[in-house]
């Protein structure tokens, strides 16, 4: 048995994925898609678009971090400063965490710390 259709879609680069979404929408409007696919097409398109959106945001965060900057709005830095750790990383998995980039200070030791990391 070969790979699933979904796994093949995610191997496409972003422009191909976007084109596929356009084609699926066109086929759905024309009624040329099998009924079983048609019933799930909105979910499938949403899934592809959310993956594309996640990839774009991740790439932007990595690019910003490489320049010592963040894509995270400054008003949201507080949650990072109270939960993230210089030693153990971003609690939220952000590649451009303002604490890790030392754009803001860590306020508390994290759950994984054995000692106070506030002076790191």
Q: Count of domains in the chain?
A: 2
Residues 56, 95: Cα–Cα separation, whole Å? 13
Domain that holds residue 46: 5-67
Shared domain check, 81 and 58: no
Q: SS3 of 74, please? A: helix
45 phi and psi angles, rounded to 5 deg:
-65, -45
Residues 112, 100: Cα–Cα separation, whole Å? 15
- How many other CB atoms are found less than 10 A from the CB of residue 95? 19
Shared domain check, 113 and 78: yes
Give tens-digit pLDDT for 75-97: 999 999 999 999 999 999 999 99
Shared domain check, 118 and 84: yes
Burial of 70 (0-12, 13-18, 19+ CB in 10 A): buried
Tokens of 12: 């496409």
Shared domain check, 86 and 47: no
C-alpha distances in Å from residue 72, one per residue of 44, 46, 67, 81, 97: 29, 24, 14, 12, 7
Residues 31, 62: Cα–Cα separation, whole Å? 41
Shared domain check, 101 and 49: no
Shared domain check, 99 and 76: yes
Shared domain check, 85 and 113: yes
Tens place of pLDDT per residue across the chain (120 aa): 556 666 667 677 778 878 888 887 787 777 666 655 556 667 777 777 787 778 788 889 999 999 999 999 999 999 999 999 999 999 999 999 999 999 999 998 888 886 554 554
The domain boundary residue, chosen from 33, 51, 67: 67
| pTM strictly above 0.85 | no
Shared domain check, 77 and 47: no
Tokens of 75: 């008003």
Shared domain check, 51 and 27: yes
């Amino acid at each position: 048995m070969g790979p699933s259709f979904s796994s093949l879609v995610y191997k496409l680069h972003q422009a191909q994925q976007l084109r596929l979404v356009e084609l699926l929408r066109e086929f759905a409007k024309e009624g040329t898609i099998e009924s079983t696919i048609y019933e799930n097409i909105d979910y499938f398109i949403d899934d592809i678009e959310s993956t594309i959106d996640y990839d774009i945001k991740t790439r932007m965060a990595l690019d910003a971090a490489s320049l010592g900057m963040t894509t995270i709005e400054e008003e949201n830095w507080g949650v990072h400063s109270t939960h993230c750790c210089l030693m153990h990383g971003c609690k939220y998995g952000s590649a451009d965490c303002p604490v890790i980039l030392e754009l803001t200070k860590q306020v508390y030791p994290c759950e994984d710390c054995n000692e106070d990391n506030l002076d790191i």
